[in-house]
Amino acid sequence: MTEDPLIGRPPTRTEAIAGWIALAISILIAGLWAFWGTLECFHEGWWKPDLAGRLIQALAYHIPLAITLLLLALAIRWPRFGGVLYFGSGAMFTALIFAKRWGQLDLFAALSWLPVTVLVIAVGVLWWFGRPRPLRLAFLLGLGLPLVVSLACAVEPVWRIAHRVDDGIRTARLVEGNEVSLVWAPAGPGWVRDAKHAADWYEATEICAHLNADGTTLMDEPQYIWRLPTVDEAVRSLTRGGENAGGVWDEETGRATYRVQPDKESPLWDSYAETIYWWTATEPDADSAWRIVYNGSCWKLPKDLGMGSQGFRAVKEPDPPVPANADSGSAEKTDPSSPPAAGITDNLDG
């Protein structure tokens, strides 16, 4: 083994083993951030209406990956300096996370924080003693593998988003299919699409009750025209590629299955809006309600939970069609939300 210029001699077998273990764990940490950053970039992010804004979002979600790759490169080149950085970063995150959440974390939650807490501290110790060699191979694996993970994780969401359907219509929509026929509220108080108007379940239910008939104005007194959709209705209404996704809700297991995975697209979702979660009216118990995600997954959450990407969209039953033998003046009384002749959607203001 060639001499290491940093220590003036060839690394011992123990130092080499410690170095490769440190490198392997560091790659694992960077790989986890590559996995998280890429998937979250296209899940919660990538909603800005302009390409520049979406690219900035993508960069923001990959900041943790960039930091871990920088730490990894420094540790490979200067192991003890990198070890100090790893140890200090791990100690800082451990103190911040566990001090704030002490007594609130269960075993699963504590383990989920390992990649940025105790594991980082352990890597710092290993880098202090370890020397992975040959250096070129260590750099190739350390920087290359996390980038491969990031690129691999981007393939499916990039393809899906490139084929996403968004007709730009944000008015009330009649959505039919899969044994469900509902009018979904237009953009406004009955369709929350940004963090500024995010609401918990209680607030969402109250807003729905006060919407006027066309869903554009909140009235002083409850109108009880609109409501939150049930989780079964929401699951059955989701779409992919302009067609119903074939969702089925199993109440016993609390799981939804689909013929094809839904996506954040028209007529239900605004693909250029921040909101990706909706409240439903279904209450598994007194303190929680089901939340649905645009991709079809459903979660039971506390009703008082509030977060920026959490919203709702009110629904109402479509008015029955006017009989064919009605007088000529009856056309003016026809509710525009009557079912269309064909297709799963209808623009009620069109």
Instruction: Give the tens place of pLDDT for each residue, 147-204.
Output: 999 999 999 999 999 999 999 999 999 999 999 999 999 999 999 988 888 899 999 9
Tokens of 258: 């689909």
- By percentage, how much of the chain surpasses pLDDT 90? 75
Q: Which is it for strands 345-347 and 173-177: parallel, antiparallel or unpaired?
A: antiparallel
202 Cα distance to chain centroid: 22
Tokens of 178: 């899969």
Peptide bond into 79 cis (omega under 30): no
Task: Give the whole-angstrom CA distance, residue 259 versus residue 178.
Answer: 11
Q: Where are the domains of the chain?
A: 13-162, 173-319+335-347
Task: Give the whole-angstrom CA distance, residue 71 versus residue 65.
Answer: 10
Question: Torsions phi, psi of 177, nearest 5?
Answer: 140, 155
Burial level of 254, CB count in 10 A (0-12/13-18/19+)?
middle
Summary mean pLDDT of the chain: 89
The residues that bridge with 106 in the sheet, in sequence order, are: none
Task: Give the whole-angstrom CA distance, residue 255 versus residue 146.
Answer: 33
pLDDT digits (tens, 9 = 90+) for 209-231: 999 999 999 999 999 999 999 99
